[in-house]
Structure 1
Amino acid sequence: MEPWRYSAQGVSIALRVTPRGGRDQIDGVEILANGRSVVKVRVRAIAEGGEANRAVMELLARELGARKSDIRLLAGATSRLKQVAVDGDPKRLGETLRRLVAVTSETTEDSNE
């Protein structure tokens, strides 16, 4: 199951964020213990004063080809588990997300061999 949901305005994405992760990147999809799937995201920023949240929004804007103003935090401001909304064409956003998580999953599998 994809960790994002479609709406008329765009998509809503479930994230698991790792602050101070060494680099800003999307690391694929992870299935949590409760069965929920999330997009794994790491950012260099620290989790103080909203720095990590800002870095996540900037990363998503860059990777999805969206404006920063099109991305908003719906839930999880102080948690590693977050829900964000991205406004835009839902079909294009979904295709971009599938491509991003597929590329990072392949890279992770290659490095584990």
Structure 2
Amino acid sequence: MTTIVIQVKVKPGSRDSSLQLLSDGAFAATLKAPPVDGKANAELIALVAKHFKVPKSAVSLRSGAAARLKRVAVMLS
């Protein structure tokens, strides 16, 4: 198993949810969920899991739980 760590710039409270790769190698995520009670973080984990085609349990926040700039670990098989 290989673990990669990606950097994600998050914009919660948006009209739709999406995840895009930026030219600098980081990702930009727009999330419908508000940044309240971890709802935006949960939606981000689901979005990253869907993008990399892994279960949600293979995705975790490394840092930035309360920040817009987050580091997310993804375990690839």
Q: Given residue 48 of structure 2, which amino acid in structure 1 is its aligned partner?
A: L
Distance in 2 separating the partners of 1:73 and 1:27: 18
Partner of 1:28: 21
Distance in 2 separating the partners of 1:38 and 1:61: 16
The aligned length equals: 77
Identity of aligned residues (%): 26
TM-score by length of 2: 0.90
Greater RCO (CA < 8 Å, at least 6 residues apart): 2
Q: Choose 1 or 2 for highest CA Rg.
A: 1
Any stretches of 5+ residues in structure 2 without a counterpart?
none
The structure with the greater share of residues assigned to helix is 1
Distance in 2 separating the partners of 1:60 and 1:47: 17
Any stretches of 5+ residues in structure 1 without a counterpart?
1-7, 32-36, 90-113
Distance in 1 separating the partners of 2:50 and 2:18: 10
TM-score by length of 1: 0.63
